[in-house]
Structure 1
Amino acid sequence: MEVLKKFKPLDDKFPFERQLGISAAPIVLINIFTVGSTDEAGFLDAFKAAGETLKKQPGFISTQLHRAIGDSPTFLNYVVWESTETLRDAFAHPEFVAKVSAYPSSVVATPHLFQKVAVPGFCTA
């Protein structure tokens, strides 16, 4: 998948591409973006354009973008998907691939997939 070449793994031993091969549902995609200090506006424009294509895809549930406090040009995106299969299909969609190519060259995306964990008396699954 061409778009995956733009990603930096969070865990070198279990990179994002390998995670996409596991059938799981529902999932949470956490994506940490580091952005050059002069590219923040361009990143936000490209992020919005890419996100508009994703939210139209089957399996998309919700998303939220967070910015690091202070002078750190680091962003965290939290996206809920119905399954790894629906995310994989959305990331392969030609319109999304085209939008991702418009990210400023300083942007580094570090995605990783997660599932909720139940911790008795504290967190529900």
Structure 2
Amino acid sequence: MSHSLDAKTGVDEPVTVINTYTVPTGEADYFTEAYQENARIMSAQPGFVRSRLHRPLADASETRFVHVAEWTSGTALDRATGNPEWHASLQRLFDDPGLHITSEPASYRVVVELHPS
């Protein structure tokens, strides 16, 4: 499975990146720590709005984290994912012998939005 956004969004509207990371539960705390270097690099990129990494309340044999990041535009995200420092950090995360990660990233645009009435 891919661990990077392979395709450019090509859109100049806000986008959200949703990525699931699955790791053995015994590695979940370490993954949370290791993940932060990569997140720090992306948070410094122009167009970054915010990022959240979600962990399930109950663990199973594997823990599936859900990462949600918001960007001002797809073009800003496209530029950010071209950053060599980010690519190197991502490679270190996936090459870490203490982590066994699978990942499924994708970019989305909002098509329905609700607010409290």
Please give the TM-score of this superposition, normalised by the length of structure 1. 0.75
Q: CA deviation at 1:87?
A: 1.1
* 1:6 aligned residue (3, 14, 21): 3
Contact 1:46 1:99 in 2 (8 A): no
The residue aligned with 1:10 is: none
Q: Pairwise mapping of residues 17-56 of structure 1 onto structure 2 (< 5 A)?
A: 17-18=6-7, 20-56=8-44
Q: Pairwise mapping of residues 95-114 of structure 1 onto structure 2 (< 5 A)?
A: 95-103=85-93, 104=96, 105-114=99-108
Q: Percent same amino acid at aligned positions?
A: 23
CA RMSD of aligned residues (A): 2.1
Matched positions, count: 109
Q: CA deviation at 1:66?
A: 0.7
Specify every segment of 5 or more residues in structure 1 that has no aligned partner in the other structure, as ranges.
8-15
Q: Which amino acid aligns with 2:53?
A: L
Q: Deviations over 1:24-48 (max 9, x none)?
A: 4101111111012232233112210
Q: Which amino acid aligns with 1:47?
A: Y
Q: Which amino acid aligns with 1:17?
A: D
Distance 1:118 1:80, change over 3 A: same
Contact 1:46 1:100 in 2 (8 A): no
Structure 2 CA distance, aligned partners of 1:90 and 1:47? 17
Considering fraction of residues, name the structure with more strand.
Answer: 2
Q: Is 1:116 aligned to residue 110 of structure 2?
A: yes
Q: CA deviation at 1:6?
A: 2.9
Please give the TM-score of this superposition, normalised by the length of structure 2. 0.79
